[in-house]
Structures are given as C-alpha cells and as structure tokens.
Chain A
Amino acid sequence: MPEELTINGPDNMLLNMGPQHPSTHGVIRFVLETDGEVVAKATPVVGYLHRGVEKIATELTYSQFMPISDRLDYVASMCGNLAWCEAVERMAGIEVPRRAQFLRVIAAELNRISSHLVAVGSFCNDVGGVTPLVVALREREAINDILELLSGARLTYNYMRLGGVSRDMSDKCRQDTAAFLDHFPPALDEFNRLITYNKIFIKRLADIAVVTQEEAKAYGLNGPNLRGSGIRFDLRRNDPYSVYPELDFEIPVGEGFAGQVGDCYDRYMVRINEMYESVKIVRQCLEMMPDGELTSKVARVLKIKAGERYTRTESARGEMGIYIVSKGDKTPYRVRVRTSSYSALSIFEKLSPGLMIADLVAVIGSFDIVAPEIDR
C-alpha cells in the first residue's frame, strides 16, 4: 500500500479529527489526508490547550509556581512537582532532608503507576476494549486514595514544597500503601491476562508505527517512547536525582515482544513493565525511609542569584526539563518547560503515511499523549 500512496493526489480526502474526539486524549486536532482507508498524511494541529504557563511563571515567585507545576501534566502531577522542586533546589543549592526525599520518590512512583494505568487503559479503550479501561481505573482509584491520604487531593496534589514535602505519611497511609503493593502486581497480572496477551490486541499493535532508534533520538523522543525503541535510557539512572541512585530497579526497554523493536506493542509493554518496577521502588523506599525532618529551612520568598540551569527529571511520560533563567529577583526571568508528549506528537507527521485510520488511533494511544503537556 505505501508504495502506491499519493500525497496531494486529486482523489484524496481531507478529514478533520478533533479537537473534540474521544481518542485524541485531550484537545488535539489531526488533519488527515486519506487515500481511501489509508492515511497519506496526518498533520497534528496543537495549541487548543495552550495556557501560557511559561509567561505566568515569570510573574510568580518560585514557591507560587508549585501548584501550577501540578497542572503541567495533570495525569502525573507528582512528577511535575518533583521536576520543579529539583530545578529550583539545584539552582538555589537547597538541601532536602532524607525523609522528604523518600516521600517524594514514593509519591512520584505511585503517581507514575497511576499515570501508566490511564495510559494503558485508555489505549485499550481506543483500540476497542472497554473493560481494560474500567479495570485500570479501578486500580487507579486505589492509588488516588493513597495519595489523597498523603496530600489531601485526588488529582492535583501540590504535595511538595521547596526543600521538602508538605506533610508526613500517616500510619494508615503507610499500611494502605503496603497493602496496595501486595495487591497490585497480581492485579496487573490479571490485567495482562485480560488484554496484554490477547491475540487480537497483539495483531492490532505489532509492527505498527515502528520508530527506529535514530528517529527516536533525532525527534527527541523521551521516556517510555524512547525506551520502546530499544534505547536503555532513563534519567532516574543515567542522570540521577533525589535518592534514585540508592534504589535497585530495572529499566525495561522494547525488545520486539511481538514484532519489530519500536512498534506500538513495545511502547505498550514498556509501560506495563515499568509499573512492576515502580512497585519495587516504592517497596524499597518504604523500608529504607528514615525518620526525620520534612522540610529544610527555605526563605518564604526565595531569591536565586543570577544564573541559569536546565534540569531534567524523568516524569511519567518521559523527560521533563525545566530551564530557569534568574536575574536575582524573587521571580524567575524566563522559565521554559520541555516535555515529552510534545516531541512524541512532532514525530507524527513522519510516522503517519501508510497507516490505516484505525491504526492512527492506536498510535496516538501508544505514545501516551496528554494535551497540556504539549501545549502548556
């Protein structure tokens, strides 16, 4: 099919998908040029959720930006919190107490699991299985409860503070977390039996939209999308921060589980395997977490001496890089947030020719795109 594909052919049809479309994961629009059922070209049109966070950040102090960092990527708010904390703390040279560091990692990893659950659940929903979404949401509610006990909120946690975290883990929260860790891997096995090894599911995803290693690097893919192409790179390991160097965990990569390395199924499997690893991390953290202070002393209105720094952390969707330029004021001079969904969507125009329309939906799901992370 792709050989005969004509782009800009006279018989091609233009089709508009989105911005309100259930499988675009938020408000993203695709302008599809289709030759029958085959996509000749898919052009993403973004910006429907562009909120100007970078401009707002320059009008707020460093600690005021914390609740907004939740909303950069609302499916994994803790990771956004952590990214902002790391960026500011490393720049200002703030020490974080060890207990707070462990609490942060626990929160971020639990949030990573819940984010991946949404990713794989809605992915299955997109390709036609409604039950896995409901199963995934059921597990996600358990994590939401734990994080609610920890932070007081369900979705946008605003849990971390510059120099620490806002509140301690209660005994109940600790027990719930431990119980969840025992419960979750078997539940995930059940999920796998339900859908992951389903023949139709595999046929639907294997060998679709293969991203080679070179393409992945050149387009700046990150996180699970990059690892899906077989590159073993994880900022938690390769550019470590917080207490990650002390923890023992694997970095799953795409190995061509059902087809070529870097296809939709590989990206899906990387996320499934990462959830098992996150469980391991949280379990270690619960054991290793010492008692102690929750925050170090940080000025309420922090001033950072003139300079700049680009700090990268591993969010659930991949790298979240925050570039701060300070002129010595209490507000940053320029903030730039580099996110992973953005790069994932920019590769789309390259990947799309030759896909069926139904595959396109699967590809969007496999990249785990969340609109505010693109548009900010």
Chain B
Amino acid sequence: MTAEEIYRHGLERIPAGTLGELAAEAVQPWVTVTPASLLDVLTVFRDDPALAFECLDCLTVTDIMDEGQMEVVYHLYSYKHQHLFVVKSRTGRDEPQVPSVTGLWPAADWYEREQYDMFGVRFTGHPNLTRLFLPDEWVGHPMRLDWKEGETALGIPTSRPDPLVKKDAEAGGGADA
C-alpha cells in the first residue's frame, strides 16, 4: 500500500481526531500523533491485518531546539505487505515524555534506551530505562543541541594539547600559557 492508502485505512479504524494530517508532499509521508494516543494508534497499525506492521524498523529522536520540541519518529515496516510508514510524535523539550512501545515491539527496548541516553526522552512504561551506550556516571545527554562538553569526562581530559601550538609559545618566549 502507498502511504495515502495506509493513512486512509488507518483513519477508518482509529477514533476521529487522533490521527493528525498526513504530510503528503514529503518523499516518505508521515503522520503526527499526540503522545497520549500514540499507543492506541500504533497498536492498530501493528494488529490490523491489512496494515500488519510487525516490525519497528527504526526509532529516532530529533531535537528541534528552535521550536522547543523533541520529535520521536517511528519507522514501521511490514514484511507481509512490504510497505513502510512513518509515525511521528512531538513532546516538549524541557521534560520530554512519550509512552514506551516495548509492549508492541520488543525491538523498541534498546532503541528507547539509546534515545533516552542520547536525548533524555523518558519513555514511560519502559521496563528498564537506563543508559545504553554511555557510562552510568555520565552527566547530561550529548545529542541534545544545547549540550556542552566539559573540561574532563570521567576524570580524563577531553582535549589534547596541540603540539604545534605549544612549540609556537615556546619559540615566542611562552608569553602566556
């Protein structure tokens, strides 16, 4: 099915008003859903035999700092019908929260942990929402656009003296270190 067909099929099965407009002009059209109705919508997408999205292909969070929002993007794929569909959900940037979809697709377990690690988005209902990649002692969420790197990380300096700069300073009498 094409994205329009999937959208129209979804509209018939999902209570009116929950499914946003389809961004049809995009190459891969997407539909925006509020976090509150996300689980219901995705459950329909997974279980409806004509849609049958049995695979969560990718879960991405994008930091949209200009608008103060975090965008969670779900790429769904159906092996049965071989079609792809994109669902997006937006949440506030200060305390981002969306429901976890681990109950629908177990693949979401690691995706959500990773995105929590990188962006600090809380996936409510996740069984074990801990950092996936970075060490537990890490402070902050580095993929957020306003994240700043410190002088040291876990006791190790984050930069390295530039050998060329040092030589110049010595040649010039080491004016200021």
Contacts and interface: CB of A to CB of B under 8 A. Distances in A.
Please say whether the chains A and B touch (CB closer than 8 A). yes
Interface of A: 46-47, 50, 52, 54-55, 91, 214, 217-220, 231, 233, 238-239, 307-310, 312, 319, 321, 323, 325, 333-334, 336, 338, 342-343, 345-347, 350, 375
Interface of B: 26-28, 54-58, 60, 62-63, 73, 75, 79, 82, 84, 86, 105-107, 109-110, 118, 131-135, 142-143
A266 to B, nearest CB: 18
B143 A218 contact: no
A55 B134 CA distance: 14
Contacts of B27: 91, 307-309
9 contacts: A46-B133, A47-B133, A55-B143, A219-B106, A319-B57, A323-B60, A325-B62, A338-B57, A347-B106
Contact of A334 (B60, B131, B132): B60
Contacts of A312: 57
Given A52-B142, A238-B82, A218 B26 contact: no
A336 B58 contact: yes
Contact of B28 (A214, A238, A308, A338): A308
B79 A231 contact: yes
A374 to B, nearest CB: 9
Contact of A219 (B28, B84, B107): B107
Nearest to A45: B132
B79 A220 contact: no
B110 A342 contact: yes
Contacts of A309: 27-28
A218 B58 contact: no
A218 B134 contact: no
Given A91-B27, A231-B79, A334-B62, A47 B134 contact: yes
A343 B57 CA distance: 10
A312 B82 CA distance: 13
Contacts of A346: 106-107, 109-110
